[in-house]
Structure formats: C-alpha cells, structure tokens
Structure 1
C-alpha cells in the first residue's frame, strides 16, 4: 500500500508501481534518548528534580524555580519603582505605598479627619496625612489621637516614621 501511494504521489510513472521490496525500508524509530545525570547548570536530575511539560520536554525544577524567581523580582521592581519598599522578616519585599494606598489619598477625607469629623472608612495613607498635618500645626499627641480616631502611640509612631516627633523639628 505504501509503495502504491508513493507511485501515485510521484505522478504514476510509466514504469508502474515499484515491485515489493524494491523501495528502501521505512526508517526505524530513533533510539531512546539517554537522560543525563545533571542539567546544564549542575543540578542533579533525579526523580525529585526532573519533570516533563505537556509536550514531553524535560526540565529541571531547580532551574525553573530560579528563572521564575528572577522574573518575579524583575516584575516587582518594575511595578513598585519609586515606592516605599521594605524587607520583611522572611526576606521578601513589601511595598508599603501600595498596601497603604498612597496613590489614592483623598484630600476631602484628610480635611474631615483634621477637623475632627472622621468618616467611617479612612485609608492608612489618609490617616497618616491627617496626623502629619495636625502635628505640623503643633497639636499635642492627645489631641491628634482624638481627632484622628487612633491611639496616642499610633499618632506618635506615624510622626516618628515621618521624622517630626520633637517640637524643634515641627517648628523649624
């Protein structure tokens, strides 16, 4: 059947289809590939580290982890460029700007907090802006805490983080 199909494919030459056995046999399947002991970066390719993707291509889990970690670091740096990023205890990075919502500070909410009429929802960045504004007017921490609706310690902590805790720094 294969010979006849080949004969038809080649335009049915006048010599007719080839005689059985006259054509070259089909190539045999390639020999199975030997999986190396180590990947190109030196990681052992054992049962815990060797994986195959959906197309049957093998890969090293350790190398894939390094590639994904590098990619995620690049994305984090791109996304949080110019933000207030601090390291956490376990070594990861944490963006305080995004988690406080500094890019979405509503001036009306800050003015309401400063006047003592605190709305039900105030973001951390808005609270911080109100506390700093009250401290710059040289209000004591007890009055700041009452107007902002937070503890005295929290008001002091916000001012300390910004760097305006003493009256000399405020009045300068």
Structure 2
C-alpha cells in the first residue's frame, strides 16, 4: 500500500475555522472564536510563536483546520465555549477532545494538547481531561490559568 503524507499548509491565524464557512455563525461559535482570540492575544503577549494550518489527510478529501498551534511549546490549542460535554446536536467538550485527538496525529511530536475553556472545569471534567492527557486552561485574573500541579506551566 502506498504511504502518502498529508498536505499541511500554514495559513494566517484567524482566517480559517473549524466551522462550516457556508453556515451562519451561531452564538456558541461566536463565543468560541472570541475565546480563541483572547487566548491568542495572551499567548502572543507571552512571546510565543503561533501558527495555524490547513491539513489534507492523505487519501481524503477532508480539510482539517488547526486554528492555533503554539510552535514555541509544541502545543495544539482547541477552544470550547462551554463546560458541557455536548448533547442535543451541540458542540461541546467531547467534540473538542475529539478534535484534539484527530489533529494531533498530523503535528510534530511532542505535542501537548490544550483545551481552552470559558471557566474552570469541575473535578469530573478535569479528571476526564487528565486521563486523555489534555491540559484544560481558562481565563484568570492575569491572562489564562490552569491548575497549579500542571507541568509545564503555561
């Protein structure tokens, strides 16, 4: 079987989103994009090199979007504008976790998966993230924060 490589194209940050371009932007999607923009400002303020990519997996017509990759720390960043897992056809934490798992396959290792949430997760959600090796972060008083035991720090 022929082993083709995916096509990975760097694109300007904020020009492509993991949301159908032909659909009206929902309130949830607008909140998620605002959270992404806020985290982007925070990471740039910390001097990080940020990138965004379009990925076309080998043998597929799909186009995957990496909205934010912190090249300084090899961190894949996905935002979720809710602390709910999902349901009723809504995107939620489960969708964001699946997005992290899917996109991480195409990025250089070692990659740390960062899930940006609108607020601090409860113990149950924090535990779910921990067993999936995902670092949850959320807005704090001085930018974004995570639990103190998280290594390496943001």
Indicate the TM-score class for this superposition, using the shorter chain for normalisation.
Answer: under 0.3
- TM-score if structure 1 supplies the norm length? 0.23
Q: Which protein is richer in helix relative to its size?
A: 1
